[in-house]
Amino acid sequence: MLKVDRACYCPSKQPYIDSPYSIGYNATISAPHMHAYALECLKDKLVDGARVLDVGSGSGYLTACLAHMVGPNGRVFGVEHIEELVKQSEKNIKRDCPELLESGRVKIVLADGRVGLKEYSPFDVIHVGATAEGLPQLLVDQLKEGGRMVIPVQKISDDQIFECVDKQGDTIRRTELLPVRYVPLTNAATQLGRK
């Protein structure tokens, strides 16, 4: 996280405060402690050459952090369904770490992240930056054997739990990590209509 300047991605006048901030379009950049927590959960899989999917890549901040962790042979695909956020994240990354886009290590794709990016799968790591109603099977299917996903999941009680999902063969191991509060994983029309 020290290689990526949060000020280039966060519109707040105090980008380093440990708080989430709106980035427009009913989207947020998560608090720094949540980014750090997610990266810590994924670090064993974020090795040189790893292939990563960042669902709801928003400002591009965590996408850039992930790209630094996978090294020059890795690839990180940010997926965002709001065109303006795709453009903004590319602008942010160009301002902070232009070599990530120029080298092809990072690619931001305009698409519905709920269905993943099958054409670029399988992924060693999937990070989901919005709360899903249950574990999305389409994303699990795009995890590589031995891969890991972190995702906030909505529970029946309306609580949200940050989960770590490990895939070994036909076995999916889900580990509940901590309670969180994220925006919902929805389609673009619902997100833009949310007040």
Is residue 1 in some structural domain?
Answer: no
Annotation says 89 is catalytic: no
How many domains does the structure of the chain reveal?
A: 1
Query: DSSP class of residue 111?
Result: S
pLDDT at residue 135, as a whole number: 94
Q: Which of 30, 57, 59, 89 is catalytic?
A: 30
Is the Cβ–Cβ distance between 21 and 80 less than 8 Å? no
Is the Cβ–Cβ distance between 60 and 89 less than 8 Å? yes
pLDDT at residue 195, as a whole number: 53
Is residue 51 in some structural domain?
Answer: yes
pLDDT at residue 40, as a whole number: 97
pLDDT at residue 1, as a whole number: 59
Is residue 82 in some structural domain?
Answer: yes
pLDDT tens-digit series, residues 122-158: 999 999 999 999 999 999 999 999 999 999 999 877 8
pLDDT at residue 119, as a whole number: 97
Q: What pTM was estimated for this model as a whole?
A: 0.94
Q: Find the CATH number of the domain harbouring 85.
A: 3.40.50.150
Is residue 151 in some structural domain?
Answer: yes
Is residue 41 in some structural domain?
Answer: yes
Measured distance between the N- and C-terminal CA atoms of the chain, rounded to whole angstroms: 31
pLDDT in tens, the chain (195 residues): 568 999 999 988 889 999 999 999 989 999 999 999 999 999 999 999 999 999 999 999 999 999 999 999 999 999 999 999 999 999 999 999 999 999 999 999 999 999 999 999 999 999 999 999 999 999 999 999 999 999 999 987 789 999 999 999 889 999 999 999 888 888 887 788 865
Rounded CA separation 26/67 (Å): 25
Range of the domain at 103: 6-193
One-character DSSP codes across 128-145? E-SBBSS--HHHHHTEEE
In the block, residue with structure tokens 């980014």: 35
pLDDT at residue 188, as a whole number: 84
In the block, residue with structure tokens 């519109």: 11
pLDDT at residue 193, as a whole number: 80
